[in-house]
Structure 1
Amino acid sequence: MKIFAVISKSFYFSIIYFFIFCLHFSEWSQAIELADDIQVHGFLSQGYFLTSDNQLFGSSDSGGSLDFTEAGLNASWSPFADLRFGAQVLFRRAGPRHEHDIELDFGLLDYTILSTVDSRFGVRLGRVKNPYGFYSETRDVLFTRPTIILPQSIYADATRDLALSADGGLFYGEYRNDWGNLSLDLEAMIPRGDSLDTEIVTLGADFPGGTYSKLSYIGRFSYDLDDGKYRIAITAARLDTRYKSKFLPPDDFLPGKEIFKPLVVSMQYNQEKLSLTSEYAIRSSTTTGFGSELDDNSITGEGYYFQALYRFSDDFHAVGRYDVFYADRKDKNGKKFQANTGYPAYSQFAKDLTIGLRYYVNPSFLLAAEYHYINGTAWLLPLQEKPNPFDLEQYWHLFAFAASFRF
């Protein structure tokens, strides 16, 4: 145990020294150009989380947790004007179940089929980023998301593996004119459903078997007006997740599948100082098989948030948000669920009031802090190491701080 403590301390000191190095040299840190057509980018973010009750990304309720690190390295090569190859590898630490995750975030071929003054059409093949809402495609980069923790009603960390990227093909099209810009993304893919997080979201716990995904679909239509002053997007998906059992009941579930169909409407209004953003999602989930109470079960969840971001200057921003999630839109207060199962009603909803600040030290270095007051544990429960609704408090406070460097 002592050697692990030494390694852990060495890791934290390494993070601190690295950020000092980044802060010193970030004024001139830019993309690394290995050649005229090859570029390399990267980022590193370190977070600290402190909660009054409950745990998030480690033992946050016992003096705080530093068990949250995100790092990425990506490269792109454009041998021709219409052809690009790109890939990104991610390293992630996010609590007990994600201590040293290394994954291929994306690795793709991007070919532009047609490009004119006012339009562009192309395809991406390989492991591609899923077009979902406003923030999903860049959710692991602190610079490109409004807060350290994204609104969980839309971008739940519990389903991050399914939402982030997938193996398949994506067609994209853009058309620009005087009355706005239109874009369309259509993707057929195999989601990354073979993870413990996906199994816990689907079945509620870790069982002997495992989950995997079948052919699924997602599409997003977007419209921008007046150089992005007004933005609207509609995202729809059909995700097919299966469970392969290892043993027979009662030690395991029988094979089954879950069809997840989210529909997300995203809206944003931008001015020089102020940005207003809201997204609304309705999610239907149907399970078949499993040989238990999960068989032929359908439920529709709902979530939305309202967010205001104010820029005091180019370097200093403030954000406020109210985020709401209901596991079942027909049982928003969880009373029916409590009566049927005996579990706490507050495990079926979460209402999160957030205020945050961020300071851009320079274009390559960012400091961010935020406070959350949360009523409910619906999105928190799947993130626990051993999910148990009775171990969680209904009302809790969360403070988060993060530093991030990019080049």
Structure 2
Amino acid sequence: MYVCSGFARTACFALLGAVSLCSTEARALDLLGSDFQLHGFLSLGLVNTTDNNFFGHSDDRISKDFSEVGVNASWRLTPELQLAAEVLWRRAGDTDDGARLDYGLLDWTAWAREQGRAGLRMGRIKTSYGLYNKTRDVPFTRPSIILPQSIYFDRTRNLTVSADGAEIYAEAYGEAGSLSASFAYGLPETGTDATKVPLVGLNRPGSMESSLAPDLQVIYEGSGAKYRLAFTTLRVDLSYKPGFADRLQAGKLRLVPLIFSGQYNAENWSLTGEYAMRRSTIKEFGPFFYNGKQDGQSYYLQGTYRLSPQWEALLRYDAYYADKNDRDGQAFAAATGVPGFTRFARDWTLGMRFDVTPQFMLRAEMHQIDGAGFLASQDNPNPQALRRYWNNFMLQASFRF
């Protein structure tokens, strides 16, 4: 079984070396004064499922194929200009394996006052998508080992995590709270199988291309971030170019999600919920593909409770329907022969977080799932072998500096 690539081993040793330097001399990474910052993290996970595969071969065995290593840096060139970048190596079963520039941008604050600020980011920018997408790659900023899959799909993660383009942002502060808005225009990543396979299936010889994708988000925070309300929408237009001896024709896909988010933070507990409507238009792929329009529906409700400064418990219900007019997938099954339960998933999650130190975190998570809508075909190439009811058990250890 594949456990760790040569790059992963090199990255792990480099990260551990940097951590040792930090332990020996707290300011060892303060290379250019306080204007330069360097941080990193290392995360290792174990996954076991009663049926189906998730992040590797986990069905009735333990998969070690879930790990993340990241190093990020920021450099304040002037009070108005900042450079920031992160290199991420991620292994998630057969859906993701390798290093990539997660983001790399120039941030120009064109206007700043006590009442707010406004500016422009250019380069590879993080996509605004719900409450967690911009920080989803850092384990310590996620509420759980994996984010709610109804909104933050890991099987199509690369399509929505970042884009090459520009983002205009503005923030306003007042007694009633703060209001922030951003509008981005960029090219999502489409050049890898991790992006192509979830959209058109396995063993397709063609390639995917994307047009510039607009992305709008508005967030309101009140009472010192005690509660947050957000709205996000984007549009992704994709085209498929058939390869040699391809059964598919030159098809087009349009994905337009609308996401409504809310969060309430009390002293010891938080309640978070997000609801998404997704219009998918699929056309011109020919008779060997499922063409048509679909209105997807997703939502989750999540509660966390801080038992002590070191312990936190989580409970979440997460639901996904590929087509709200065919919630059980029976029409899809009749048209394709693929089981209908691959079109939905309902997930009860119970989790626990233990901060051993501010730098070292342990997590455990249990998922009880009805449906296979979250699963990646790279890890489950035969849809007829999938099971509707299954459990997922996960452990994770994370370190940061």
| Residues 49, 59 of structure 2: 8 Å contact kept | yes
Q: Is the 8 A contact 2:345 2:370 kept in 1?
A: yes
Partner of 1:311: 306
Supply the distance in 1 between the matched residues of 2:391 and 2:176 (Cα, whole angstroms).
Answer: 45
Q: CA deviation at 1:387?
A: 2.9
Match of 2:274 among 270, 279, 282: 279
State the match for 2:118 in structure 1: 121
TM-score by structure 2 length?
A: 0.93
**1:167 maps onto 2:196 in alignment:** no
* 4+ residue segments displaced more than 4 Å: 4-12, 14-31, 293-296
Q: How do residues 238-387 of structure 1 correspond to structure 2 at under 5 angstroms?
A: 238-248=235-245, 251-292=246-287, 294=289, 297-380=292-375, 382-385=376-379, 387=381
Which residue of the partner structure matches residue 203 of structure 2?
206
1:15–1:86 CA distance, 2 compared to 1 (3 A): closer
Look up the match of 1:85.
83
Q: Secondary structure at the match of 1:197?
A: helix
Q: CA deviation at 1:105?
A: 0.4
8 A contact 2:231–2:259 mirrored in 1: yes
Pick closer, same or farther for the CA change 1:132–1:390 going to 2, 3 Å: same
Cα-to-partner distance string for 1:329-369 (whole Å, 9 max, x where unaligned): 00111222223333212111100000000011111111111
One-letter amino acid matched to 2:63: S
- Counterpart of 1:182 in structure 2 is 179
Cα separation, 1, equivalents of 2:212 and 2:382:
32
- Report if the CA contact (8 A) 1:23-1:365 is conserved: no
Structure 1: runs of 5+ lacking an equivalent:
none
Deviation, structure 1 residue 313? 1.5
Q: TM-score, normalised by structure 1?
A: 0.92
Q: How many residues align?
A: 400
Q: What are the within-5 Å matches in structure 2 for residues 53-132 of structure 1?
A: 53-99=51-97, 101-132=98-129
d(CA) in 2 for partners of 1:281 and 1:80? 39
Q: 1:395 aligns with which of 367, 378, 389?
A: 389
Q: Is the aligned partner of 1:404 residue 2:398?
A: yes
Q: 1-side partners of 2:198 and 2:7: how far apart?
A: 34
Q: Distance in 2 between matches of 1:92 and 1:187?
A: 25
Task: Identify the range of structure 1 (55-64 vs 279-288) with the bigger mean alpha-carbon deviation.
Answer: 55-64
Give the corresponding residue for 1:138: 135
Deviating more after overlay: 120-129 vs 188-197:
188-197
Percentage of pairs with the same residue: 43
Residue 32 of structure 1: CA displacement? 2.4
CA distance in 1, matches of 2:52, 2:160: 25
TM-aligned CA distance change 1:30 to 1:254, over 3 Å: farther
1:353–1:341: structure 2 CA closer, same or farther, 3 Å change rule? Answer: same
State the shift of 1:21 in Å: 10
Task: Tell me the secondary structure at the aligned position of residue 156 of structure 2.
Answer: helix
Cα drift, residue 149 of structure 1: 1.0
Residue range with higher mean Cα deviation, 337-346 or 149-158: 337-346
Return the alpha-carbon distance in structure 2 between the equivalents of residues 20 and 53 of structure 1. 39
User: Aligned partners of 1:95, 1:283: CA distance in 2, in Å?
Assistant: 26
Distance 1:68 1:87, change over 3 A: same
Aligned AA (1:102): A
Distance 1:267 1:232 in 2: 5
Kindly indicate whether the alpha-carbon contact (under 8 Å) linking 1:22 and 1:405 is maintained by their aligned counterparts in 2: no
What is the alpha-carbon distance in structure 2 between the residues aligned to residue 394 and residue 29 of structure 1?
A: 51
